[in-house]
Amino acid sequence: DWNISEFTIDYVCKNGYSQNLDSNFSRSKRLYQTVRRGSFRNVHRYLNKSYFETTLINGEKCKRSYLVYSESKGAVFCVPCYLFQNSSEFSRNGFSDWKRPNSINKHENSLSHKTCVIKMKNRSSELNRVDKTLPYQVETEKEYWKNVLIRVCAVVKSLSSRGLPFRGDNEQFGSLHNGNFMMCLELIAEFYPFLAKHISNHGNHGKGHTNYLSHFTYEQFIKLMAVKVQNKVVEEIIRARYFSISIDSTPDIGHIDQLSFIFRYVNSDGLPVERFLCFLENVGHKSQNMADAVFSILKKYNLDISYLRGQSYDNAKNMSGVYSGLQARIREVAPLADFIPCSAHSLNLIGSYAASCCKEANSFFCFIQNVYTFFSASTHRWDLLKVNLTLKNLSETRWSARYDACKALIDNWGIVKRTLVDISNNLNEKSITCNEARGLLHAMNRLETTFMLLFWGDLLQRFNAISKLLQSVNIDICTVCEHYNSLIKYISNLRNDEMFLQYQEKALTKCDVNVYETTSKRKRKRNKKNDEIVDLEEVDLPSDVEFKVNTYYVICDSIINELTTRKLAYDNVITKYRFFLKLEIMKISEVYVSAENLYLMYKSDLDETFINECIHFQSHLQNIKYYPKSIIDMSTMMKKHELEDIFPYVSIALRMFLCTPATNCTTERSFSTLRRIKTYLRSNISTDRLNALAILNIESQLTHQINYSDIIEDFANNQARKKIH
């Protein structure tokens, strides 16, 4: 029994009440007499839980939250009517006529009952009832911290995608040394009062005070976002089915060898993509060690090695060895994984070989390096050059740098020469400096040097253009062969007397001398022994002919031979797929033979109907307005026009070809990210954090696509409750 008073009414309205639904309702037993077969019988009825809800005419059920079961009286009461003195049976003695449950319906539809319910709800609203305000408070807290975390995530996404460091010397707001993370938050706070107020209230309170602005919070988000990007890459690989790998290693700032893993596959739009997955440290340089590393990574991410269709590395023996190299060990497990040497690295090796194939080529590049070293060793000498002159240093790995060095010297030949003359004649300079200047000046005044500068300038300009093109992700092996063939044809066209004379005439206009250095040198004569047999008479060639034969032709021949030899590796792969590029002009019988050969090589991937599909595909291409010019165009056309259902095995063949990498330049680019992330200030960074920051930076496109609302929701749900308590 409740003692009805204003205090009781306020208490119930504010804190609510229990309906006692957990009771066994044993005291609600009521005795009824019924007539069965002409005789009276006693029947007991009890309260049922079904009385606490009503069924609407459309079948929906509504709870009768106003009813309360009284264990002492074994009856149900209407709380609103009981509190506000309604004269109904539900408020005086309670309702217990279980034989007539319709009385409950009559009561809840009565005007007096509805009036009491409204009074109680109004009273509850005025008193801010706990069960109403608590969820609101929780939701408010969640929304507050969600707004904070959205800004934190935005900063983490921006910094990580650009490879910028997070922490500074301290974690104090207002400090000029608090790092990029806090600097970005302070910048946002200047334009958003919400964040400014949060920083003011919670910013510099130290440990034990929740603010979600410290490194503990953003480290969690770095991990969560990295896992999402990594899972996205793995999902794309599995969806694409066929993939290739490129790996390479480099030492980091801590002298730890880092092995980079790049996966190439065809995405849902029909275009090939190359994605970074992770770094693996201290694997070793032996082929078996690296093979074990590849197998472990594939197993870790549940990638089936039977779908591996290509592998691309540099030309090191431990990678490219035919018998015991990495590519050979992988082909023992995955025989269909073709090995393709990095075409860009091969082009660099071709240039390196040509630059060292003869004496004059070696001397020329040493001269360029010496000119740069001479001027860059002293700020005074560098200032003596004109404002429009910028000399370039050579590079052992980047042949584009050699082109830049040649071009800079060609464009500023006269300025460099005059500056060397001034330095060599300056009495205020040290004698060793003057002698170095005279030596460089003497080298510049050689006709051979001027000729080589012009000749190598043209060669390296072509090498540089092709090298940059080969670094594209969308490049395929067909394009590599085309450009290698174009270079062979270009060098062959240079290798004739007419082109030699053209370069010689240009060199004579730039040089102060008009004869080759060999002309002014007296040839040494050797005394012959009496019993010496001479088969041929020694012939003294003119200096220009000797330079042409022993230098000009030697360089051209070495480049042509190296290009032809290295192109064979790409021809062996492209031969299988070349017929796709000639479907427009091929006879049906030729298409049949080529398709059959490809089918026999890939019986585990292609069905015998592939041959018929290729013939049909040829007819389809001949009847469309736009004929695809490359295999990439064919792949994107099939995706765009949804032709995969018609030509499923043609689509598989195109995907297998396009997923085969032509270079491993993406692996080299990942090393740039490694050097930006793991600097001397962060040399002790853990492997997990390095991989997290690396994948967020390298795959910045996927990082920006992250919808982090689900991450924030989980984070806010866990932390809002902790903050309230």
Residue 387 in this model has a pLDDT that exceeds 60: no
Given the DSSP bridges, would you call strands 75-78 and 67-70 parallel, antiparallel or unpaired?
antiparallel
**579-612 tens-digit pLDDT:** 999 988 899 999 999 999 999 999 999 999 999 9
End of a domain among 84, 108, 128?
A: 128
DSSP character at residue 682: G
Sequence-ordered alpha helix ranges (H) in 588-708: 588-601, 609-623, 631-640, 648-658, 665-677, 687-698, 700-704
Give residue 390's region: left, alpha or beta (phi > 0; psi -120 to 50): beta
**259-287 tens-digit pLDDT:** 999 999 999 999 999 999 999 998 888 99
Q: Distance between CA atoms of 499 and 493, rounded to whole angstroms?
A: 8
Question: Could you tell me if residue 179 is inside a domain?
Answer: no
- One domain for residues 566 and 584: no
What pLDDT, on the 0 to 100 scale, is given for residue 567?
93
Q: What average pLDDT does the segment 437-450 reach?
A: 91
**548-565 tens-digit pLDDT:** 999 999 999 999 999 999
Question: Could you tell me if residue 481 is inside a domain?
Answer: yes
End of a domain among 638, 658, 678?
A: 658
Q: Distance between CA atoms of 682 and 10, rounded to whole angstroms?
A: 63
Q: Distance between CA atoms of 109 and 107, rounded to whole angstroms?
A: 5
Q: How confident is the model at residue 533 (pLDDT cuts 50, 70, 90)?
A: low
Residue 644 in this model has a pLDDT that exceeds 60: yes
Residue 15, domain extent: 6-128
The mean-pLDDT minimum among 38-42, 106-110, 175-179, 373-377 falls in 38-42
Q: Which of 31, 30, 28, 32 is nearest to 52 (CA)?
A: 28
Given the DSSP bridges, would you call strands 61-63 and 53-55 parallel, antiparallel or unpaired?
antiparallel
Cβ contacts of 231 within 8 Å, gap of 6 or more: none
What pLDDT, on the 0 to 100 scale, is given for residue 132?
57
**294-304 tens-digit pLDDT:** 999 999 999 99
- One domain for residues 550 and 588: no
Q: Distance between CA atoms of 592 and 610, rounded to whole angstroms?
A: 10
- One domain for residues 554 and 619: no
In the numeric block, the tokens 């088969």 are attached to 535
Question: Could you tell me if residue 565 is inside a domain?
Answer: yes
DSSP helix/strand/coil, 309: strand
Across the chain, mean pLDDT equals: 87
In the numeric block, the tokens 């964040």 are attached to 195
Phi, psi of 569 (to 5 degrees): -60, -35
- One domain for residues 551 and 582: no
Residue 525 in this model has a pLDDT that exceeds 70: no
- One domain for residues 557 and 616: no
- One domain for residues 554 and 602: no
What pLDDT, on the 0 to 100 scale, is given for residue 309?
95
**314-352 tens-digit pLDDT:** 888 888 888 889 999 999 999 999 999 999 989 988 988
- One domain for residues 506 and 622: no
Q: Distance between CA atoms of 260 and 312, rounded to whole angstroms?
A: 13
Q: What average pLDDT does the segment 444-470 reach?
A: 91
Residue 532 in this model has a pLDDT that exceeds 80: no
Q: Which helix (H) or strand (E) holds 276?
A: strand 272-281
Residue 529 in this model has a pLDDT that exceeds 70: no
Q: What average pLDDT does the segment 194-219 reach?
A: 87
Question: Could you tell me if residue 271 is inside a domain?
Answer: no
DSSP helix/strand/coil, 181: helix
Residue 672 in this model has a pLDDT that exceeds 70: yes
What pLDDT, on the 0 to 100 scale, is given for residue 376?
82
- One domain for residues 554 and 642: no
Q: How confident is the model at residue 372 (pLDDT cuts 50, 70, 90)?
A: confident
Tokens of 29: 């037993």
Question: How large a percentage of the chain has pLDDT more than 70?
Answer: 91
Question: Could you tell me if residue 312 is inside a domain?
Answer: no
- One domain for residues 604 and 502: no
- One domain for residues 460 and 546: yes
DSSP helix/strand/coil, 316: coil
Residue 434 in this model has a pLDDT that exceeds 50: yes
What pLDDT, on the 0 to 100 scale, is given for residue 571?
92
Residue 716 in this model has a pLDDT that exceeds 70: no
What residues does 95 pair with on adjacent strands?
76
For residues 586, 590, 591 and 595, what is the CA-based torsion angle, rounded to 10 degrees?
A: -150
End of a domain among 642, 658, 674?
A: 658
- One domain for residues 591 and 564: no
Given the DSSP bridges, would you call strands 61-63 and 243-251 parallel, antiparallel or unpaired?
unpaired
Q: What average pLDDT does the segment 636-651 reach?
A: 92
Q: What average pLDDT does the segment 675-684 reach?
A: 89
What pLDDT, on the 0 to 100 scale, is given for residue 388?
46
- One domain for residues 350 and 497: yes
Q: How many domains, the chain?
A: 3
Question: Could you tell me if residue 45 is inside a domain?
Answer: yes
* CB distance 191 to 202 below 8 Å: no
Residue 540 in this model has a pLDDT that exceeds 70: no
Q: Distance between CA atoms of 346 and 343, rounded to whole angstroms?
A: 5
**115-132 tens-digit pLDDT:** 898 988 888 877 765 555
Question: By CB neighbour count within 10 A (0-12 exposed, 13-18 middle, 19+ buried), where does 629 fall?
Answer: exposed
Question: Could you tell me if residue 366 is inside a domain?
Answer: yes
